[in-house]
A and B are shown apart, each in its own frame.
Chain A
Amino acid sequence: AQSVAQPEDQVNVAEGNPLTVKCTYSVSGNPYLFWYVQYPNRGLQFLLKYITGDNLVKGSYGFEAEFNKSQTSFHLKKPSALVSDSALYFCAVRQYNFNKFYFGSGTKLNVKP
């Protein structure tokens, strides 16, 4: 069965420090991997995706993610956190050539001044 795990409900980090939001997945075949961000009372916004190629993917707002096939992980990172990065982050996976997406339970990122 396909699944996505985000092991941390909440991540706290000080502004200016690096941040990591963790994601591991289980999917048959080659995965398509995505990160989304959700601000209060809004829908999800696309941040970045991994389809193929370089394991380090760069996305919007200075975020990047590292694909690790052996560990089946796709952790979201940012070198220097901003207070405005505080939001709910979702990891998602889909199988190649299947339309169904699987989402993690979300991680709330709190960036303190």
Chain B
Amino acid sequence: DVKVTQSSRYLVKRTGEKVFLECVQDMDHENMFWYRQDPGLGLRLIYFSYDVKMKEKGDIPEGYSVSREKKERFSLILESASTNQTSMYLCASSLENQPQHFGDGTRLSIL
């Protein structure tokens, strides 16, 4: 069965810290995505990647970067965490023109 694994379910960090969120998929999918989910705003795309070392900005990339060194792993980096980055972060992967498969999310709190 399809599996997307996010390294942490809950994470608490301090403002100014560099934060790493990890996502691994075991389905050999080309495409991987990072979203943040906030009440009333739905899912907003931060970055996506369509191949190893390839990335494209989504709708809200400011304050974030990503890394995809291997096909199965897609990392989201908060360069200097701020309180307005407190949110639920969801990773997803997909094949071309197919539905996305999601991880269970990381609930990140920045204090």
Q: How far is the CB of A44 from chain B (nearest CB, A)?
A: 4
A43-B90 in contact given A100-B48, A100-B58, A105-B41 (Cβ < 8 Å):
yes
Of the candidates A6, A43, A46, the one having the most CB atoms from chain B within 10 angstroms of its own CB is A43
| A90 and B102 within 8 A (CB) | no
Interface of A is mostly: loop
Residues of A within 8 A of B92 (CB): 43-44
Closest CB in chain A relative to B80 CB, distance in Å: 27
Task: Given A99-B31, A100-B58, verify A43-B42 contact (CB < 8 Å).
Answer: no
**B43, A90: Cβ atoms closer than 8 Å:** yes
Q: Tell me how many residues of A have a C-beta within 8 Å of chain B.
A: 23
B4 is an interface residue with CB less than 8 A from chain A: yes
CB distance from B32 to the nearest CB of A (A): 10
Bound CA span A36–B105, Å: 15
B84 at the interface (CB under 8 A from A): no
| Interface residue count on the B side (C-beta < 8 Å) | 28
Contact status A90-B97, CB under 8 Å: no
Interface residues of A (CB under 8 A from B): 6, 9, 32, 34, 36, 41-46, 49, 51, 90, 96-97, 99-101, 103-106
**Hey, which chain A residues are within 8 Å of B4, CB to CB?**
43
- A41 vs chain B, min Cβ distance (A): 7
B100 within 8 A of A: yes
A45: chain B residues within 8 A (beta carbon): 102
B45 touches A100 (CB 8 A): yes
